[in-house]
């Protein structure tokens, strides 16, 4: 992203059943290994809960009774593979329950347009053949994507899957605030069906995903913490007590020390080099805890980017991140230039300059993305190995962003298990009478459905 590029073209979905079969057969390997890091420390076991409910819903979908949205949790980058595994289990469960289904059992899905930019064009090709629809998260209305999704919602041969959290937060036991897109798509689907005089009912199915470690690898966590401490110039502390309870407390103390040090350094960074109004001595803040200071820091980081792009600082942190991302892309992927090759050397140099600057300014937003879910209370509530590891890996993400300005490749801390839980379907059609009564009622109906979906996803979390 150090040069100007042509505008981002829409990658049309082109589902291919053969590509799906190859991907499904590759799942055992993909779950245990990772491209560019072929380490046997991925997911060794997946438990799928309440799959028979999904099998019955697919039967109703295929017999023309319902239209279906699958709302998956999105806490880790492994979620799409776990979702593929869940759907691959549906035919087996259906046969056992005597439920008649037609192949393939799959879904269209919505993915973020930036994924092929970070991973490579091959990923865009693959996601297209698996039925994916790319969307610009930062655009108020990505009309090309929305029209494609709405068409597939009422006429597609497959259900539609999406992640209402919008992005990963790194925490298995915290559901981020949901974006309203899933609920809005559900109501649009009801509206489109009514216009077509069709009787199908519309449902959204919450699907929870949670991860844990098969066996706590304290030595690996200690190694990671030592690396993080070295990156910050901090001396490592001895973490060798035999009792696990004492070990957890020491590791938590090391994480809190890392967090406080990072926040203090970044406060100084933004105060000195970006002239932002932050306390010169955090200790003078009195009762302010790390979470409060962190939120102030994230707000300042976003303001630095927003000031450059001329954006207003309004909305939630996630909404502001999405707007910043889209603003950066408009400076890098130039829709206003029909052919970059026709530019004079002067204008090409200026275009590249703008792209480089935009890429640097977007780093403030990437830093916020990595740090936004970090909270003191998450560790204070329960000092489990999983929570300690998740927090350490989030700090790793932040430091990697600062050191390399690239997408970090996380270290492995041991074999993990995953649990995928299919929740009770929520009827969107039953809420239509409220939605269609007025514009204000529609807005409230979307908010209520989004909140109910959030509650359903939270209920599926098993606290460690």
pLDDT single digits (tens) 36-62 = 444 445 888 899 999 999 999 999 999
Does residue 207 register a pLDDT over 60?
yes
pLDDT average, residue stretch 374-395: 88
The answer to whether residues 318 and 180 touch, using CB atoms and an 8 Å cutoff, is no
pLDDT of residue 79: 93
**pLDDT: which is higher, 335 or 372:** 335
Query: Phi/psi at 174 (nearest 5 deg)?
Result: -130, 125
Average pLDDT, stretch 105-110?
97
Output the domain CATH number for residue 167.
3.40.1130.10
Q: Using one digit for the tens of pLDDT, what is the confidence trace for 58-91?
A: 999 999 999 999 999 999 888 999 999 999 999 9
**Which tens digit of pLDDT belongs to each residue from 116-133?**
888 888 999 999 999 999
What is the DSSP code (8-state) at residue 431?
Answer: G
> For residue 32, is pLDDT > 90?
no
Instruction: Specify the pLDDT at position 287.
Output: 42
269 vs 235 pLDDT, higher one? 269
pLDDT band at 283 (very low <50, low <70, confident <90, very high): low
Give the pLDDT confidence score for residue 245 in this predicted structure: 75
Q: What is the pLDDT averaged over residues 250-267? A: 92
Structural domain contains residue 3: no
Task: Share the mean pLDDT of the chain.
Answer: 90
Q: For residue 410, is it within any domain?
A: no
- Give the chain's domain count: 2
Can you give the three-state secondary structure of 336-400, one letter per residue? CCCCHHHCCHHHHHHHHHHHHHHHHHHHHHHHHHHHCCCCHHHHHHCCCHHHHHHHHHHHHHHHH
Same domain, 134 and 230: no
Residue 339 domain-assigned (yes or no): yes
Same domain, 355 and 397: yes
Phi then psi dihedrals of residue 208, to 5 deg: -90, 145
Closest CA to 145 of 175, 110, 182: 110
Structure confidence at residue 237 (pLDDT): 67
Number of H helices, E strands in the chain: 16, 10
For residue 247, the model assigns a pLDDT of 84
Q: Encode pLDDT of 328-360 as tens digits.
A: 999 999 999 999 999 999 999 999 999 999 999
Whether residue 203 sits in one domain with residue 242: no
Q: Which of 362, 379, 404 is the last residue of a domain?
A: 404
CA distance 147 to 161: 16
Residues 355 and 450 in one domain: no
Residues 237 and 307 in one domain: yes
How far is Cα 142 from Cα 53, in angstroms, rounded to an integer? 33
Same domain, 386 and 426: no
Continuous segment of H or E residues that includes residue 247:
helix 244-273
What value does the mean pLDDT take over residues 366-388? 85
Task: Report residue 197: phi and psi, to 5°.
Answer: 55, 45
Is 126 within a domain?
A: yes
Distance separating alpha carbons of residues 265 and 294, to the nearest angstrom: 12
Higher per-residue confidence, 244 vs 259:
259
55 plus 127 within the same structural domain: yes
Classify residue 409: in a domain, yes or no. Answer: no
Handedness of CA 294, 296, 302, 304 (dihedral sign): negative
**pLDDT at 280 (0 to 100):** 63
pLDDT of residue 309: 96
Task: Tell me, yes or no, whether 31 and 173 share the same domain.
Answer: yes
3-state secondary structure 268-328: HHHHHHCCCCCCCCHHHHCCCCHHHHHHHHHHHHHHHHHHHHCCCCCCCHHHHHHHHHHHH
Looking at the structure, tell me whether residues 180 and 273 fall in a common domain.
no
Q: Within a domain: residue 137?
A: yes
CA quadruple 439, 443, 449, 452: dihedral sign: negative
State the residue for tokens 């593929």. Answer: 84
Identify the pLDDT of residue 464: 58
pLDDT at 240: 62
Whole-model pTM?
0.91
Rounded average pLDDT over 419-429: 97
Question: Average pLDDT for residues 207-211, to the nearest whole number?
Answer: 96
Question: Looking at the structure, do residues 96 and 240 belong to the same domain, yes or no?
Answer: no
Same domain? 176 vs 189? yes
Burial class of residue 119, CB neighbours in 10 A (0-12, 13-18, 19+): middle
Per-residue pLDDT at 35: 42
Residue 207 shares a structural domain with residue 285: no
For 262-287, what is the mean pLDDT? 78
Top pLDDT among 374 and 287 is at 374
pLDDT for 223 equals 93
* Cβ-contact 110, 72 below 8 angstroms: no
- Tens of pLDDT, residues 240-257: 666 777 888 899 999 999
Expressed as residue numbers, the domain containing 174 is 9-214+415-459
Specify if 4 maps to a domain: no
Does residue 153 lie in a domain region?
yes
């Amino acid at each position: 992203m150090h040069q100007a590029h042509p505008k981002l073209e829409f990658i049309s979905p082109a589902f291919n059943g053969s590509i799906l079969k190859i991907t499904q057969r590759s799942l055992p390997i993909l779950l245990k290994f990772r491209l560019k890091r072929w380490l046997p420390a991925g997911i060794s076991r997946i438990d799928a809960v309440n799959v028979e409910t999904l099998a019955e819903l697919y039967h109703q979908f295929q017999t023309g009774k319902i239209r279906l949205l699958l709302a998956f949790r999105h806490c880790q980058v492994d979620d799409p593979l776990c979702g593929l595994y869940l759907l691959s289990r549906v035919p087996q469960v259906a046969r056992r329950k005597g439920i008649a289904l037609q192949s393939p059992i799959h879904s269209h899905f919505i993915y973020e347009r930036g994924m092929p930019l970070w991973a490579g064009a091959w990923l865009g090709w693959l996601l297209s053949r698996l039925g994916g629809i790319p969307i610009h998260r930062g655009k108020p209305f990505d009309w090309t994507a929305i029209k494609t999704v709405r068409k597939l919602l009422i006429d597609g041969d497959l259900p539609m899957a999406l992640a209402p959290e919008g992005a990963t937060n790194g925490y298995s036991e915290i559901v981020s605030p949901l974006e309203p897109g899933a609920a809005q798509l559900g109501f649009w689907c009801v509206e489109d069906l009514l216009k077509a005089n069709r009787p199908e009912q519309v449902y959204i199915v919450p699907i929870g995903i949670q991860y844990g470690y098969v066996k706590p690898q304290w030595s690996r966590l200690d190694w990671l913490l030592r690396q993080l401490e070295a990156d910050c110039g901090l001396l490592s502390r001895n973490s060798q007590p035999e009792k696990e309870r004492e070990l957890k407390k020491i590791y938590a103390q090391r994480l809190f020390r890392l967090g406080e040090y990072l926040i203090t350094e970044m406060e100084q960074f933004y105060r000195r080099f970006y002239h932002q109004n932050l306390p010169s001595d955090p200790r003078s803040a009195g009762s302010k805890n790390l979470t409060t200071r962190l939120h102030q820091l994230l707000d300042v980081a976003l303001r630095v980017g927003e000031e450059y792009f001329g954006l207003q600082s309004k909305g939630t942190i996630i909404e502001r991140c999405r707007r910043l991302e889209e603003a950066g892309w408009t400076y890098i992927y130039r829709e206003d230039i029909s052919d970059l090759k026709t530019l004079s050397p002067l204008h090409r140099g200026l275009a590249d300059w703008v792209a480089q600057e935009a890429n640097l300014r977007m780093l403030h937003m990437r830093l916020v993305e990595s740090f936004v879910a970090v909270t003191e209370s998450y560790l204070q509530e329960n000092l489990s190995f999983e929570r300690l590891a998740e927090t350490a890996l989030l700090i790793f993400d932040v430091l990697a962003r600062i050191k390399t300005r690239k997408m970090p490749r996380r270290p492995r801390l041991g074999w993990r298990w995953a649990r995928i839980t299919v929740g009770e379907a929520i009827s969107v059609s039953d809420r239509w009478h409220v939605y269609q009564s007025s514009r204000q009622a529609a807005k409230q109906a979307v908010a209520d459905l989004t909140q109910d979906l959030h509650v359903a996803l939270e209920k599926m979390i098993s606290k460690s």
